[in-house]
Amino acid sequence: MWLLTMTLAAVVTTAIWYISDEAREIYNIGFLNLILWGTTIMVFVDHLIGYLTEGGEFIETSSDAILLSIILLIVALLIWEMVLLFKDPKGVLRSIKK
């Protein structure tokens, strides 16, 4: 399930990156895109090697897999938010300090 969730999130952020200049330039959505596609590739390789060596299901749909996919997506979004807060593209935090 986490492979499907990460792939869907990566495709959506790629579409947003492609359509919106503001998201690309101000909100640094390319960084989130990179995180999500990297995670998608990593999870795909993990599933593929596990499937080839052990067999079983390629896509797991248990409640643990759903919970893990939600946690992975939240962590990716938190990392992106921390980078946005650190870079402060609109200068909001710099104006508060003055």
Domain ranges within the chain, ordered by starting residue: 2-88
Give this prediction's pTM.
Answer: 0.84
Instruction: State the pLDDT at residue 85.
Output: 85
CB of 73 within 8 A of CB of 6?
yes
| pLDDT band at residue 2 using 50, 70 and 90 as cut-offs | confident
55-98 pLDDT tens trace: 878 888 888 989 999 999 999 999 999 998 888 766 666 676 65
User: Which pLDDT value is given to residue 8?
Assistant: 94
Q: What's the CA gap between 13 and 39, in Å, rounded?
A: 13
